Every structure is written in C-alpha cells, then in structure tokens.
Amino acid sequence: MSEESVFYKRLKGIVKQSGKSVNQIERELGYSRNALNNYKNIIEPSGSRLLKLARYFKVSPEFLIGEAEAPSQTNIEIIFKSLNEKQKLEMLKFCQNWVENIIKNTQFSDK
C-alpha cells in the first residue's frame, strides 16, 4: 500500500470541509468519475487542473501541492459549514452585535 500524496491529503481535507461528495465535485467541474481519486498515489495534477481546483475551492495552488502551510484564500462558507450548530449560533450573535455596533457608531448626515 503506497502513501498518499500531499496533494491528495489536502484535496480530501477540503472536499470534506465543502460538505460535498467527490463525485458531486467531479460532476460540477466536468471531470470523469474517479478523476480526483486518481491522485491518491504520488501523482499530481496538471497545471491547468491544479489552477481549476484551487479556484473551485478558493485556496492557493501552493497550498494544494504542499508548498504553503495554509490556504491563502479563506472560503467563509467552508468555515461556517465546519461549525456545529452551537458554534453557528454563537457566530450569528457575534455578527449581529458587530453590525449593531457599526450602525450605532456610524454618523449619518442629512446631505
């Protein structure tokens, strides 16, 4: 049994965070079935496929191939989906308070 590539480990992680199945993502990208599973072994995608996957998941290509430790772009939807219900409610309360403070501290002129 061979070791998974860095690319495949990272791909699996962001697929899981997306809440979608690999097959669903392959369909959305127009790839053949199991196209993404072909990267399980030490195979890396072509440059064009790497860029397409990075844009789809809103991460940097460098992150996907292991040259960066963290994605340079953050997809707030992925982060939100990874939260449990209690955390989502806490986030909602935080955002409501933040917006209320912005509105309260904003001076509106009658021009």
Where residue 47 sits, what CATH number does that domain have? 1.10.260.40
- Whether 49 maps to a domain, the answer reads yes
Tell whether 45 is covered by a domain: yes
Judged against a pLDDT cut of 60, whether residue 77 lies above it is answered with: yes
Average pLDDT score over residue span 90-107: 89
Q: Which of 6, 52, 51, 4 is nearest to 30 (CA)?
A: 52
| CA distance between the termini of the chain | 71
Number of structural domains the chain divides into? 1
Whether 82 maps to a domain, the answer reads no
Q: Percentage of the chain with pLDDT > 70?
A: 86
Question: Please, are residues 69 and 10 in contact by the beta-carbon 8 Å criterion?
Answer: no
Alpha-carbon gap, residue 15 to 1, rounded angstroms: 23
Render pLDDT for 31-59 as a digit per residue (tens, 0 to 9).
Answer: 999 899 888 876 788 999 999 999 999 88
Instruction: Look at residue 39 in the predicted model and tell me its pLDDT.
Output: 87
86 found inside a domain: no
More confident residue, 41 or 87: 87
Range of the domain at 53: 6-74
Asked if 39 and 7 count as a contact pair (C-beta separation under 8 A), the reply is yes
Computed over its alpha carbons, how large is the radius of gyration of the chain? 19
